[in-house]
Amino acid sequence: YFQLQQLPTAVLQAFISPPLQMGDDFNGCTPAWFNHSQHEVCPHGTAVHVPFASFTKPSKPSTLTFLACLYSALPAIGLVLNIAVIAKKRAMREVSWLLYTAFSSAFCALLKAFIHQPRPQSCLITCGMPSGHSTYAAGLFCILLQDLVLPQQRQRRMRTALLLVCLFPITWSRVQLGDHSTSQVVVGSIVGVITAGMWLAALGPCCEAFLRSAIFREAASRPATTEPVLDSSLLELSGPAATPAAACPEVAVS
């Protein structure tokens, strides 16, 4: 008991919170301002629902809140760019990034349903522990660091700095908009590192091996198209006018 008291209070409260019951609303963590019968207006702003990147648009906009909204929408932008790169290159590495995004999102959703902790000052009515945006940012940073930075001998610092600028402000934006508390962001970042380690160590290579074998089996099952092969004997023409030497005799120059 005394050892439990020494743990961080926020993390301890997250894991001792009662899980969802069968009769509870699956969306869960309904804030006090929300009324199921009247659907009252959120006093904190407007909820912007974007796939994998929902956030609260504050009622009093400012430069910081605009920047926070932009970073909060970044996971959806990254998802669109990932699909576009897959359609163009059709490479296994980009497919692995998309599969990791789906895996980390599902893992985070399961934790939210189990922990059942509300958001601090948000217009979103879903649970907030852990932060899915922070899981995405920290996890994708580890994945891209492994795939794009470490294999390169040059420009490692510049690529690392670019990833930090693009991804880690996402965690700040969640606190700035009131969609998550600091503890939810910290736990989400830890979950992102854990899921990235799981993906790099086991899940990712297994998925890639399965996809490669499935593609190979599909290619092997297709009927082989035989192209006509020109026999070399047909190239041998008979007659004195068949060869270029006979057609154009050499002229000896004395």
Specify whether the CB–CB gap between 178 and 33 falls below 8 A: no
* CA pair distance 227, 56, nearest whole angstrom: 60
- Main-chain dihedrals φ then ψ at residue 194, nearest 5 degrees: -65, -45
pLDDT at site 22: 31
8 Å CB contact between 75 and 91: no
What H or E segment, with its residue span, contains residue 134?
Answer: helix 132-144
Q: Which helix (H) or strand (E) holds 227?
A: none
Rounded to a whole number, what is the largest CA-CA distance in the chain?
112
Query: For the chain, what is the mean pLDDT?
Result: 77
pLDDT for 50 equals: 85
State the pLDDT at residue 237: 52
- Give the number of other CB atoms < 10 A from CB of residue 168: 15
pLDDT at 13: 44
The predicted-structure confidence for 198-213, as pLDDT tens digits, reads as follows: 999 989 888 888 888 8
Q: What is the distance, to the nearest Å, from the Cα of residue 133 to the centroid of all Cα atoms in its chain? A: 10
What stretches in the chain show pLDDT beneath 70? 1-28, 35-40, 216-254
Q: So what's the pLDDT on residue 47?
A: 87
Residue 165 pLDDT: 92
User: In which element (H, E) is residue 164 found?
Assistant: helix 156-167
State both tokens at 31.
């804030």
pLDDT of residue 246: 46
Residue 200: helix, strand or coil by DSSP?
A: helix
Q: Which two tokens stand for residue 86?
A: 């897959």
Q: What is the pLDDT of residue 12?
A: 39
